[in-house]
Amino acid sequence: MATEYKDLIKNIMKSRGFKCKSEFYFMKLGDNFVEVDFTVNKSRLHSGVNYKKYSHDDIYWKILGKEELSRKKDSERIGIAAWKSWPIGYYSFIDENVNNEVIEKRINSIFSDILPEIENIDINSLVLEGEYKNSQKCLALIDLGRINEALKLSQKCIVEGESGGLVYYGKSFYQLVIERYSGLFLSKQRKSKL
């Protein structure tokens, strides 16, 4: 990306409260976490905005047995790459004939049209009511404390041969959900009977 454009984007994004890591910009908005990236190729501006519930990464890392990642700063969370939970939504834009005005217009549209919507989205409800992956539904159920439902969904997915897009230590995402949370659910059941 041309240095002048990179500097312009960085200055605007930081002036509006975003933090920066390389060409990625991030911010916690309400309960949600937003990442924005920009690249300029052959006079085209490519920009993307993705978001998820902030707590979903922490749950995902617990499932993987990587709880130490939850202690990292947000700037370090951005660089974790393959270890992050899946985004819930993604916006992608291509603007032609890039110049300062085009960049400013795109950033303004992100701030006026997209970020207010993301800040107010109840991601758990969105995921559970929409056409999302079962793995994302498991994260939402766990986040809501509906452990039994997450376990049932995981068992169903295992029976149907679904891995959840992840195999870690030879176990599918759903096997790991059951391994991490079934003891918690069983101990809650026992306490409720006492």
The domain boundary, picked from 121, 140, 167, lies at 121
Residues 157, 160, 163, CA angle at the centre, nearest 5°? 55
Range of the domain at 60: 3-121
Count of domains forming the chain: 2
pLDDT tens for each residue of 99-141: 999 999 999 999 999 999 999 999 999 999 999 999 999 999 9
In which element (H, E) is residue 104 found? helix 100-109
Tell me, yes or no, whether 38 and 115 share the same domain: yes
Is residue 185 very low, low, confident or very high in pLDDT (cuts 50, 70, 90)?
very low
The pLDDT of residue 148 is above 60: yes
- Whole-prediction pTM value? 0.85
Tell me, yes or no, whether 103 and 130 share the same domain: no
**Residue 167: predicted pLDDT:** 74
How large is the average pLDDT for residues 40-44?
A: 87
